[in-house]
């Protein structure tokens, strides 16, 4: 049986709203997406920062291990 990150469960996704820089259309970008195309003008819209499981996954600490999780969290402050 293959091991899968518990954070990849679709029930844990979050959505953020962004405005298209070209036409102002409001679009949704889910926590597992890096970019989407505006539904109105087709301009690519990128997240403000690269998503990391540390940012959105409740299981990140368990998956990474305590020592690695502390290191990565320390780099964010």
- Structural domain includes residue 7: no
- Structural domain includes residue 61: yes
Query: Which residues have a Cβ under 8 Å from the Cβ of 58 and sit 6 or more positions away?
Result: 7, 12
- Structural domain includes residue 22: yes
Residue span of the structural domain in which 29 resides: 13-76
Query: Which residues have a Cβ under 8 Å from the Cβ of 24 and sit 6 or more positions away?
Result: none
* Residues pairing with 45 in the sheet: 36
- Structural domain includes residue 6: no
Q: pTM to 2 decimals?
A: 0.51
- Structural domain includes residue 32: yes
33-58 pLDDT per residue, tens:
888 999 999 999 987 765 677 877 88
Per the structure, the count of domains in the chain is 1
6-39 pLDDT per residue, tens:
666 666 678 889 999 999 999 999 877 888 999 9
Candidates 56, 54, 74; CA nearest to 64 is 54
């Amino acid at each position: 049986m293959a091991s899968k990150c518990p954070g990849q469960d679709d029930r844990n996704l979050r959505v953020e709203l962004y405005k298209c820089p070209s036409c102002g259309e409001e679009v949704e970008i889910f926590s597992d997406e890096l970019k989407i195309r505006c539904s109105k003008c087709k301009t690519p819209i990128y997240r403000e920062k690269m998503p990391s499981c540390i940012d959105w996954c409740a299981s990140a600490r368990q998956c990474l291990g305590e020592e690695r999780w502390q290191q990565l969290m320390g780099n964010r402050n």
